[in-house]
Amino acid sequence: MSRVRADEEEYWHSSKFRAFTFDDEDDELSQLKESKRAVNSLRDIVDDDDDDLERVSWSGEPVGSISWSIKETASGSTSSLDGRDSSLQKGSSSYAALPKQASSYSLSSLFKGRNKLSSFQSLSDALTDTGVKNYAPELRRPKAEYKDYSGDWSPKDTVRRMQRGKVCSLERFRSLQDKLVLLDEAVAGHDGNVITAVLIFLKRTLRREILFRELEVRQVALCHLIHFLRETGEQKFLLDLLRFLDRTEEVALSQYREHLNIQDVEKRREFLKGCIGLPFSAEDTSHIQDHYTLLERQIIIEANDRHLEMAGQSELFRKYPRKASILNMPLVTTLFYSCFYHYTEAEGMFSSPTNLKKTFKIPDKQYVLTALAARAKLRAWGDVDALLTTKNWLGYTKKKAPIGFHRVVEILQRNNAPVQVLQEYVRLVEDVETRLNLATKYKCHDVVIETYRDLKDRIQLTAYKGKVERGSAEEEKINSILSNTQIRWKN
């Protein structure tokens, strides 16, 4: 870091560039000068008479330095290979090396900065003179500072001046008519900065009903005001405006957005409750309702569990202290939490997983996935087994995984399940290739051996013998299968 700064420092001190020059002429004069300068600048670009300034390329290296010349020769050779004049495409800004013709200056000359006071000036510099210089003693300035000294600017000129970054007094525009002309001029100028400035003025000086009515027929200005109110967080004014415009869904969303600014959970809950009746779209209404219900639940669970944890009597909380509060967490996180700490609770309890599943209509897939992850984390393999076992009406049990057994294996493996547990589920992976892959990856030897046997693949099975331990039960198993004369090997 310090080296970089030193380099920078060196650059600023050693180079003959001046980054900035503030001139302190007064307005009129400087405007004239600047337009003259603009004209001159065009000539400067064309003539480019050599001065004694050090040339610096875009990369900041003085032209002529070793690395510069390397790049220069490099880009030179590539473009000559291309055999066409592609000065605009050259990587490094080889300003000095280019032919002196206006059309072939590289774009990078655009940002070479001002070599000297009057040289390179772009049109926008000439048009937007960056005015308002003030050298008066500071900290307390007369109020008159924001008044425009020369007074009578027309709406159009006022807008022009503001576009150039000058401060103008708007107080002169007294009548509604004048104010609206000013606003329309600002809109026609397209500079949002100015439009907003005028809107702030109108907002301060017009009655709401009048402002709203006039903005309704001025959509561009209206959008700017809405944006402004949103940025500055003037919620009440914004809602009034949206209501006036009958934008009900936007009112609802804007109001709902407010909850993010409420830190206190009780207050947030109350606020969300108030949002339920707002005119959202049908689909969104149910989400907002769920959001409220979830926070309500979380508050109850949090109070209970914090108490439990403090009391120190629950082994689960002692062994696995909570990392964070459950407040304001997403639904699925909450479900995980409840599967972790409250798995066995009866459905009647607010904190029980089954209750959450019902209340929020959590799909089976999502539920199994979350419960599986939580129980595997606790290494409760019995629960895992129960979760994946279904009974049909005859009382037979069957293993079923709505998420696919390969995903089950993945989750268990991530939680360091022992091979005995793992292989039971690897065996259930339907796709043979996936099953073989998983079994090999996680060293579920039995599954690999059995799968090769079922595939009647003697070559693979023989090869696999090299991967199991010498003298192990697995090796014996392979040997016994290989010597089984009943099997009709395919190879």
Partner 1 sequence: SRREERPYCDTCEVFGHWTAESASDRVLCSCREDRGRSPQRDFHILFVPRRSLLCEQWLKEQGVLGSFIHREQYSLDLIPFDGDLLSMESESAFKECYLESDQTSLYHAAKGLMTLQALYGTIPQIFGKGDCARHVANMMIRMKREFPGSQNSIFPVFDTLLLLDRNVDLLTPLATQLTYEGLIDEIYGIQNTYVKLPPEKFAPKKQGEGGKDLPTEPKKLQLNSAEELYAEIRDKNFNAVGSVLSKKAKIISAAFEERHHAKTVGEIKQFVSQLPHMQAARSSLANHTSIAELIKDITTSEDFFDNLTVEQEFMSGIDTDKVNNYIEDCIAQKHPLIKILRLVCLQSVCNSGLKQKVLDHYKREILQTYGYEHILTLNNLEKAGLLKPQTSGRNNYPTIRKTLRLWMDDVNEQNPNDISYVYSGYAPLSVRLAQLLARPGWRSIEEVLKMLPGPHFEERQQLPTGLQKKRQHGENRVTLVFFLGGVTYAEIAALRFLSQMEDGGTEYIIATTKLINGTTWIKSLMEKLEPAPF
Q: Are 292 and 268 in contact (CB under 8 A)?
A: no
141 lines the binding site for partner 1 (CB under 8 A):
yes
CB of 376 to partner 1, least distance (A): 14
CB of 482 to partner 1, least distance (A): 34
Tokens of residue 395, six digits = 């009382």
446-475 binders of partner 1 (CB under 8 A):
none
13-42 binders of partner 1 (CB under 8 A):
20, 22, 35, 38, 42
Q: Which is nearer to partner 1, 78 or 389 (by Cβ)?
A: 78
CB of 108 to partner 1, least distance (A): 5
- Exactly one of 16, 18, 100, 133 binds partner 1 (CB under 8 A); that residue is 133
Q: Which is nearer to partner 1, 333 or 484 (by Cβ)?
A: 333
CB of 285 to partner 1, least distance (A): 11
Residue corresponding to tokens 């600002």: 186
* Segment contacting partner 1 by CB under 8 A, of 25-33, 139-147, 391-399, 423-431: 139-147
Distance, in Å, from the CA atom of 324 to the CA atom of 95, rounded to the nearest integer, reads 60
| φ, ψ of residue 483 in degrees (nearest 5) | -90, 0
CB of 188 to partner 1, least distance (A): 9
- Exactly one of 26, 28, 49, 231 binds partner 1 (CB under 8 A); that residue is 231
Tokens of residue 199, six digits = 């809107």
Per the document, the length of the chain is 491
- Exactly one of 259, 375, 445, 453 binds partner 1 (CB under 8 A); that residue is 259
274-303 binders of partner 1 (CB under 8 A):
283-284, 287-288, 290-291, 294
Please list the residues that pair with 391 across neighbouring strands: 397
Q: Which is nearer to partner 1, 78 or 462 (by Cβ)?
A: 78
Q: Which is nearer to partner 1, 224 or 445 (by Cβ)?
A: 224
227 lines the binding site for partner 1 (CB under 8 A):
yes
Residue corresponding to tokens 């005028």: 198
Q: Are 128 and 165 in contact (CB under 8 A)?
A: yes
What contacts 449, CB < 8 A, 6 or more positions away?
461, 464, 474, 477, 478, 481
SS3 assignment, position 479: helix
396-415 binders of partner 1 (CB under 8 A):
403, 407
Binding residues for partner 1, total number by CB under 8 A:
101
Write each residue from 70 to 109 as x if it is in contact with partner 1 (CB under 8 A), else as -, in one continuous string: xx-xxx--x---x-x-x-xxxxxx--------xxxxxxx-
Instruction: Determine the residue type at 72.
Output: E
What contacts 443, CB < 8 A, 6 or more positions away?
419
Q: Which is nearer to partner 1, 132 or 303 (by Cβ)?
A: 132
What contacts 241, CB < 8 A, 6 or more positions away?
212, 215, 225, 226, 229
- Exactly one of 6, 29, 117, 132 binds partner 1 (CB under 8 A); that residue is 132
Nearest to 25 by CA among 16, 9, 17, 37: 37
233 lines the binding site for partner 1 (CB under 8 A):
yes
369 lines the binding site for partner 1 (CB under 8 A):
yes
135 lines the binding site for partner 1 (CB under 8 A):
yes
Q: Are 75 and 106 in contact (CB under 8 A)?
A: no
Q: Are 199 and 220 in contact (CB under 8 A)?
A: no
Q: Which is nearer to partner 1, 86 or 491 (by Cβ)?
A: 86
314-353 binders of partner 1 (CB under 8 A):
328-332
- Exactly one of 257, 267, 441, 467 binds partner 1 (CB under 8 A); that residue is 257
Where helices occur in 144-281 by DSSP H, the ranges are: 155-163, 176-189, 192-205, 208-216, 219-232, 235-244, 248-257, 265-275
> What phi-psi label fits residue 488: left (phi over 0), alpha (psi between -120 and 50 degrees) or beta?
beta
- Exactly one of 366, 434, 437, 460 binds partner 1 (CB under 8 A); that residue is 366
CB of 171 to partner 1, least distance (A): 14
| φ, ψ of residue 389 in degrees (nearest 5) | -100, 130
Instruction: Determine the residue type at 441.
Output: K
* Segment contacting partner 1 by CB under 8 A, of 47-55, 363-371, 440-448, 455-463: 363-371
